[in-house]
Amino acid sequence: MIAHIQHRLNYRYSELVTLDPHVLYLHPRKSSMLSVNSFSLDIQPLPVQISKNLDPEGNIQNILYFKQPTDQLSIYMEAVVETTEFNPFDFVYFPFESQKLPLIYSPSYQRTLSPYLAQDTVSPEIDLCAQQLAKAVLWDTSAFLSAVNEFIFQNFAYEIREEGAPHSPEITLQNRKGSCRDYAVLFAALCRAMGLATRFVSGYYIGVAPVDVPNQTHHLHAWVEVYLPGGGWRGYDPTQHEVVSGNHIPLAASCLPEEITPVYGTYRGIAISSLETEVKMERI
């Protein structure tokens, strides 16, 4: 599937400000299942320099440097990408014991995956919820992941929140509502309670959602990837009630959601800022 993406962000400031360096995570993340046919950025005011780098987790970042004061910042990204549809269940757990929870990785994997196994978001309430979901499916790993997807999709009210960090998983669990990134953080915490390594993914959704499912094609989206022995990183999207299989276009993935905000930067001045965003996607 080939997708054409246009993403525009307009920041306006009530007075002239000086822009500090801004970090962008707007370049689609290349993989064996996704190729980038074209990519461009149009930035106003023009930066004096744009540095393209790989961050510690292999994500493409663009760092913008500015010189002149301005009362607005316009960022326009356009890309054409090609994704490969695949069967997300076409793998065999290996070691075979990984089919059951709690999952224990090999010593070498534990070292490699340690940032994705952190327990700081696993409160007693989160742990109890994960235990209940796992017990209901007889501690089966695949069934547990499907149950978490179903649990969040069926029992939580979706809300659009364009800005701000994700809520803590405990708050989302208590309030029974949240944005896609809140759902993703909750999903990750429930998995980590069962010893599963997870990472937060920011990107776009290009699938055709049923009428009773939130339409994410005009917004940034977020979901989770879980590392399964024998299967590698597998994506789960509780907002869309899907297992990732070719309808998702990742921009960045991280053990820390706040590290891959699509646009991050500060400014110097006393101005009040506002943001307007627009996302357009179409299949070609």
For residue 165, name the pLDDT band (cuts at 50, 70, 90): confident
Distance CA 200, CA 262 (A): 13
Tokens of 162: 């364009």
Q: What does the alpha-carbon distance between residue 164 and residue 147 come to, in Å, rounded to a whole number?
A: 28
What is the rounded distance in angstroms from the CA atom of residue 272 to the CA atom of residue 268?
A: 11
* Strand, coil or helix: 151: helix
138-142, 190-194, 206-210: range with lowest mean pLDDT:
206-210
> Which pLDDT value is given to residue 164?
76
Per-residue pLDDT at 207: 87
Per the CB < 8 A criterion, the answer to whether 195 and 104 are in contact is: yes
Position 34 scores a pLDDT of 97
Query: Among residues 259, 269, 189, which one has the least CA distance to residue 224?
Result: 189
- What are the pLDDT digits (tens) for 87-100? 999 999 999 999 99
Q: What does the pLDDT look like over 203-231, one tens digit per residue?
A: 999 987 766 666 666 689 999 999 999 99
Average pLDDT over residues 248-262: 97
Peptide bond into 102 cis (omega under 30): yes
- Of 131-140, 158-167, 234-243, 260-269, the least confident: 158-167
Whose tokens are 């500060």? That residue is 266
User: Which residues are CB-neighbours of 37 under 8 A, at least 6 positions away?
Assistant: 2, 79, 80, 81, 82
Closest CA to 61 of 210, 261, 267, 272: 261
Residue 44, strand partner residues: 74
State the Cα–Cα distance between residues 89 and 231, nearest whole angstrom: 8
Q: What is the pLDDT of residue 212?
A: 62
pLDDT tens-place string over residues 13-65: 999 999 999 999 999 999 999 999 999 999 999 999 999 999 999 999 999 99
**Element holding 186 (H helix, E strand):** helix 180-192
Question: Cα–Cα distance between 207 and 32 in angstroms, integer?
Answer: 19
pLDDT for the residue numbered 215: 66
The predicted structure's pLDDT at residue 161: 79
Q: Domains of the chain (ranges plus CATH)?
A: 2-83+261-283 (2.60.40.2250), 96-245 (3.10.620.30)
Strand-pairing partners, residue 156, are none
- Could you give the percent of the chain with pLDDT greater than 70? 96
**Phi, psi angles (nearest 5°) of residue 278:** -150, 130
100: left (phi over 0), alpha (psi -120 to 50) or beta: beta
